[in-house]
Chains A and B, each alone.
Chain A
């Protein structure tokens, strides 16, 4: 009791000071990552190596003249130091999410949190992601115990936001001081910060660095080299891209890369996707047809596995983990699963730029800020306080580091020391020019499913124009119902 009062007094004082401080440094807030990377100057041997993502960490990156040098990590947040976790009142709440594979590490974090806050209890409620998408909304809405929950960026977050289910976290100090500023955007809705996107992941293909080294392949840098690489890799007996056409959620990840350089700029891309999403344009538009034709070209060049439309997520992962496939076109989040199947893959993976244009690419990869943590608006005040305290705990650097290193997943939190070799290898990507995953700009799940199904059908050998016309009709019917 006593300690809590003291802590909250301290917090109040700190709050006042930090508000003043914040006003002073408001300008540097939200500065882009890559643009203003200050250089430490010394040259370094391997691109991508880093010493962490705290403000003093160094990363090995190519500079403008193409030389590898150590640079300071800058993640576009304030230069204020992060705040410690809040303390929680007594009580029991539920934490709803879909990451069954994170159950154990999250439980260990919860145990620590409970030890630091005696009398406070958090129970994880985990559902498989498909069922989470389908039923979580109805269940959480009628369950005030579910004080903290996670949502996907895109349709699900929008749905919860529309349902007025989340409290505004804008005034929380950890929001401004512990979280990577660029990453906050995915949790904003109607001018409010309705959630903290916890994960910073790359929805980017992953490649087997050992195979590329062994076969002495250069990484493809445009559409032409991509197609010729596919032919080379296939001739050498590999499956170039272990793409799981039988499992839409993973098959659709590649769409991010395909869209990445398909429009002159992000705003145009966003408008075009919204037009399809709302029915004011259809898949037969030149822009979409052009992209679909690239799928076709890739299929013809043998980029995809045999019987691609029947390859499950498990089979695709296995192809990659056992060294039969060179690239796994899902995302950085798959690296943990790859290592679970074949521990030898540790340290042999890095992110692959899937560039499908012969013009100068605007982006070299995709990132996403997801696993958006929110406080339930319908929970009691006390339970909301517990939830908020737990979020503040999760966004402290040391705790986020436990989560990140155990799950092979970057987090959207500052001052995290990545020790996991695969995270270190891909940390440099936080400083590259990557696009916020455009696939999640489709807010109508039914439309997005049809879009992805059309592309799967094309890879499966269906003619491009007829397929796009057929699916456009399906979308039209769905939207006019």
Chain B
């Protein structure tokens, strides 16, 4: 009642949202909800799903070291990618915010990996990381840095980080462009004023760029987090999660549980725990950004 009186616009708003919500609900939410149903079953994708209650969840929490290992991998992977990629993107954006011939050229270059397909990127880095022929190790050995020439994707200690680095290489340019768009919104007067006050570049960054770019940072971080949880293509094409699941992330674990082992009910349950993890992480992030910087 009250809605109608005070906010007659709302009806128009509903109409504006309707097409989006319709497609989204039918093609995304509905399958997701079916998945919720499957998570309570044992299902091999062939017969009829058999209802097992919360068994999948209790098993995962009490009898599945692999799940926790992979969850840990995923958190490490995400933290690394989010921190480094955001930092790189911000710094490159600051360096390249002005429009000159060189900066435009470098922006174009940095964005370049983004337009490659993820399968291409995976294949390129699979080649670069080859422990015996790959350009990285061949280069390191040429400079006498033999002890740095690791078995990148073949060792449990380095595979996850090697893929994280590829992910950063792949997407930093994209985030940099977002940052440039954000930084160019900052009024130049603020910098001029800071310069008049004799502020150094670092002080300018601390007092002007960082606070003014916070909303952009929030978007970049939120997006990078989700993107890192979905780095399915790279992991799947480069290591399939190996060796010994050291580079598995939740997305590949779920995919392989469902389609390599045909435990679709269990995979559905894993994916629900993954959703919960992401939601918690995102909320924590927002809380931290909000309380620390008052955005």
Contacts and interface: CB of A to CB of B under 8 A. Distances in A.
Direct touching of A and B (C-beta under 8 Å): yes
Interface of A: 130, 133-135, 137-138, 159, 162-163, 245-246, 248, 305-312, 315, 318, 444-446, 449, 453, 456-457, 460, 473-474, 477-478, 480-481
A135 B65 contact: no
Contacts of B65: 473-474, 477
B41 to A, nearest CB: 13
Nearest to B59: A481
Nearest to B55: A481
Nearest to A163: B46
A310 B266 contact: no
B60 to A, nearest CB: 8
A477 B63 CA distance: 6
Contact of B242 (A135, A248, A307): A248
A306 B46 contact: no
Contacts of B131: 306-307, 310-311
A246 B129 CA distance: 11
B112 interface: no
A348 to B, nearest CB: 22
B166 to A, nearest CB: 15
Interface in B149-177: 151-156
B117 interface: no
A456 B245 CA distance: 12
A159 B66 CA distance: 25
Contact of A477 (B64, B156, B239, B245): B64
B132 interface: yes
A481 B243 contact: no
Contact of A159 (B59, B240, B255, B262): B262
A307 B157 CA distance: 13
Contacts of B245: 453
B132 A457 contact: no
B215 interface: no
11 contacts: A133-B259, A159-B262, A245-B243, A246-B154, A310-B152, A446-B260, A453-B244, A456-B242, A457-B244, A477-B64, A481-B266
B243 A311 contact: no
A310 B246 CA distance: 13
Contacts of B155: 309-310, 460
B154 A310 contact: yes
B45 A137 contact: yes
A445 B66 contact: no
Contacts of B233: none
B118 to A, nearest CB: 15
A445 B261 contact: yes
A308 B153 CA distance: 11
A311 B154 contact: yes
Contact of A162 (B46, B126, B242, B257): B46
Interface in B98-152: 126, 129-133, 151-152
A310 B64 contact: no
B230 interface: no
Contacts of A134: 255, 259-260
Given A163-B46, A308-B154, A315 B132 contact: yes
A312 B261 contact: no
B63 A245 contact: no
Interface string B44-65: 0110000000001001100111
Given A460-B154, A477-B64, 20 more contacts: A133-B259, A134-B255, A159-B46, A162-B46, A245-B154, A307-B132, A307-B151, A307-B154, A309-B154, A309-B243, A310-B151, A311-B130, A311-B154, A445-B262, A446-B261, A456-B244, A460-B155, A473-B65, A481-B59, A481-B60
B130 A312 contact: yes
B277 to A, nearest CB: 19
Nearest to A239: B132
Interface in B175-200: none
B45 A453 contact: no
A306 B132 contact: yes
A130 B132 CA distance: 25
B76 interface: no
Contacts of B263: 446, 481
A251 B130 CA distance: 16
A478 to B, nearest CB: 8
Interface string B211-244: 0000000000000000000000000000110111
Contacts of B133: 315, 318
Contact of A311 (B59, B66, B132, B261): B132
Nearest to A308: B154
Nearest to B258: A134
A481 B65 CA distance: 11
A308 to B, nearest CB: 7
Nearest to A248: B242
A241 to B, nearest CB: 14
B244 A310 contact: no
B260 A453 contact: no
A307 B154 CA distance: 7
Given A134-B259, A445-B260, A246 B153 contact: yes
A284 to B, nearest CB: 17
A480 B133 CA distance: 42
A245 B130 CA distance: 12
The 6 closest A-B pairs by CB, nearest first: A310-B154, A307-B131, A134-B259, A309-B154, A446-B261, A307-B151
Nearest to B130: A315
B126 A312 contact: yes
A306 B133 CA distance: 11
